[in-house]
Amino acid sequence: MSAPAGATVFVMSDALGETAELVARAAASQFDGGGLVLKRFPFVHSEEAVHGVVAEAAAAGAAIVYTLIQPLLRSCMQDAARRAGVPAVDVMGPVIDAIASASHGQPRLEPGLVHRLDADYFRRVEAIEFAVRYDDGRDPRGLERADVVLIGVSRSSKTPVSMYLANRQFKVANVPLVPEVEVPPELFDVPLRKVVGLTINPGQLRDIRLERLRAIGLPPEASYGELGRITQELRYAQQVFARVGCPVIDVSNKAVEETATKVMELVNAGGRGGSSEGV
């Protein structure tokens, strides 16, 4: 069996029309021989536009494959195609109706949702990959590309907050502050509205670090867990915060979600509203 040479299908949608085009191409693959001409009409949102496409299809001898979410437009399309004698296939409507019946739920009736969900998913994946790549100051070149830059001493929640924000589609880089290590000069080129400092109570940080030392099999006497060393690091961090001029969040006794929410508030407010809290 072969399709007539030059068979034409109009793809009409209130979004991009990719779903209807995919179905049309899949159906056309069942025919040997003749070619298929596809013409896409995306973002159709009015009855006038529907009538215009139907009239053009009738003149061209084309069939219409469509995805229209709004019931009124679907009804208009069905009526107009019937009157014009144009073969028309509703790809989305019957499936929505079937799911609504089976789930006893109501559809949202918002065009293009699947593409928005796909876009959100890929932005989230990209942000997570970014957070992993530029975690712990691994590559300062990421600072200029980041939506948020977190700075603070080791174990001040930089990484978990970065990952939480990445799941909210923020590209986050974080930089550890160590007295013996120079701060990357790229940090001072980052717009201030993107930089947030994280600090923590010395006693709480000591408890966290001692637990970390135990987890990796090191003795608690290591300088990493000494209160004097911790206090020195936190004071140095405060000096860096002051040099950068960034807002500072005290993460002591705060859940990661709470800290991340505060970071988002500061970034969305352009870096205003932060406070430097003494060590």
CATH number of the domain residue 62 falls in: 3.40.50.2300
**pTM of the full predicted structure?**
0.60
The last residue of a domain, from among 90, 111, 132: 111
Q: How many domains does the chain have?
A: 2
Residue 275 lies inside a defined structural domain of this protein: no
Q: Which domain holds residue 53?
A: 2-111
Are 247 and 128 in the same domain?
A: yes
- 100-147 confidence digits (pLDDT tens): 888 877 766 666 555 555 667 778 889 999 999 999 998 999 999 999
- 189-241 confidence digits (pLDDT tens): 999 999 999 999 999 999 999 998 998 899 988 999 999 999 999 999 999 99
The last residue of a domain, from among 66, 87, 111: 111
Residue 278 lies inside a defined structural domain of this protein: no
Helix (H), strand (E) at residue 174: strand 172-176
Are 157 and 60 in the same domain?
A: no
Residue 274 lies inside a defined structural domain of this protein: no
User: Which is higher by pLDDT, 74 or 242?
Assistant: 242
Are 16 and 151 in the same domain?
A: no
Exposure pattern of 242-279 as b/e (b: 16+ CB <10 Å)?
eebebbbbbbeebebeebbbbbbebbeeebeebebeeb
How far apart CA 279 and CA 276 sit, in angstroms, is 9
The last residue of a domain, from among 111, 141, 172: 111
pLDDT of residue 278: 38
- DSSP at 37: E
The percentage of the chain sitting over the pLDDT mark of 90, rounded to a whole number, equals 62
Are 92 and 170 in the same domain?
A: no
Structure confidence at residue 34 as a pLDDT band (50, 70, 90): low
